[in-house]
Amino acid sequence: MKEGVNAMERKRFREIRIILHVLRENRLTMISLIILISIILMGVFAPLIAPYPDAYKGIPNVEEKYKPPSFKHLFGTDYLGRDILSRIMYGARYSLLAAIVIVALSVAIGWPLGVIAGYRGGLIDDIIMRITDLFLVFPALVLALIIAFILGPNLVNSMIAISVTWWPWYTRLARAEATSLREREFVEAAKAAGLSDAQIVFRHVFPNTMVPIIIQATMDLGTAILVAAGLSFLGLGAQPPTPEWGLMINEGRSVIFSAWWCALFPGIFIFITAMAFNLLGDGLREALDPKLRRIRRLG
């Protein structure tokens, strides 16, 4: 019986080995990882590498207003004459941060709730699932708008608002996993060994629900960027002069036909970042998802 428990732990290390193996093999996944790291570095070192390090501020420079792309300003300038390339570099911080925080928060709320609901079952399960279902029926984006508006429009609040709409998906996922785990032998074995419920949940149930959660979280990072940018586009997220990519698109919207570069380039970066996250998530999923496993062990 103890063997069974140890075997589960050994299995986890094997999962990590598989991830590394697949990441090395799959070229697209590798490329997306490189792109992501580049964007992260770009955001982190923005003050050092941006051609116009003050561009993130709100200082107007009327003469340089709406200049098209040139050698001086590779991506042109915006309505305040600020260099768009530099702003995009700074903007990486906000978009990446938003994606990570949103997913992290949603997982932090949804995962434990789901595990508890799935493992305990009964009344607790019912209550949690009712609440979850309620949130799921609620049109997510409307809820996010409302909450963002209530809390006051800024980036942090929009992240919170979006997380509030997102956690139910993780609860459902975790619950499904936890429920199936509940029936498995190693749980019975652990109980027979005298472990308390809390110990079982922490040491055995939680870690074994981790894989699907991680897969979903990585895939959701790509979507999270889009949603966060969407809220900023509407004016309920980041506020000027923050160089957030979604907000920049909004700022460029009114001059879309004359100064198209203002809205185009930030969007391209959102697109690239989301795509990198999605490719990474997809690659991870191919590697880890037992249902999609390319190579399987036969009993």
- Number of neighbours of residue 177 by Cβ within 10 angstroms: 23
Q: Which of 195, 211, 234, 255 touches other proteins by CB under 8 A?
A: 234
* 2 near other proteins, judged by CB under 8 A: no
Tokens of 196: 């308390």
Which one, 37 or 150, has the nearer CB to other proteins? Answer: 150
Which one, 52 or 230, has the nearer CB to other proteins? Answer: 230
* 264 near other proteins, judged by CB under 8 A: yes
Query: 68: left (phi > 0), else alpha (psi -120 to 50), else beta?
Result: beta
* 257 near other proteins, judged by CB under 8 A: yes
Q: Which residues pair with 71 in a beta bridge?
A: none
Q: Which helix (H) or strand (E) holds 71?
A: none
Which one, 42 or 164, has the nearer CB to other proteins? Answer: 164
* 18 near other proteins, judged by CB under 8 A: yes
Q: Give the Cα separation of 279 and 257 in Å (integer).
A: 32
Closest CA to 203 of 110, 72, 115: 115
DSSP string, 162-182: HHHHHHHHHHHHHHHHHHHHH
| Helix, strand, coil percentages for the chain (3-state, nearest 5) | 75, 0, 25
Q: Which of 47, 60, 68, 152 touches other proteins by CB under 8 A?
A: 152
Which one, 39 or 200, has the nearer CB to other proteins? Answer: 39
**How many chain residues bind other proteins (CB under 8 A)?**
53
Closest CA to 60 of 72, 78, 38: 78
Nearest approach in angstroms of CB 64 to other proteins is: 23
Residues in 22-51 that interact with other proteins by CB under 8 A:
28
Q: Which of 92, 168, 246, 284 touches other proteins by CB under 8 A?
A: 246
- Within 8 A by CB and 6+ apart from 15, the residues are 211, 288
Residues in 89-148 that interact with other proteins by CB under 8 A:
130, 133-134, 137-142, 145-147
* 297 near other proteins, judged by CB under 8 A: yes
Tokens of 92: 């990486």
Asked if residue 8 lies in contact with residue 204, where contact means CB atoms within 8 angstroms, the answer is yes
CA atoms within 13 A on the CB side of 27: 0
* 10 near other proteins, judged by CB under 8 A: no
Which one, 213 or 249, has the nearer CB to other proteins? Answer: 249
* 79 near other proteins, judged by CB under 8 A: no
DSSP, collapsed to helix, strand or coil, labels residue 257 as coil
Site residues (vs other proteins, CB under 8 A): 14, 17-18, 21, 28, 130, 133-134, 137-142, 145-147, 149-150, 152, 222-223, 226, 229-230, 233-234, 246, 249, 253, 256-257, 260, 263-264, 267, 270-271, 274-275, 277-279, 282, 289, 291-292, 294-299
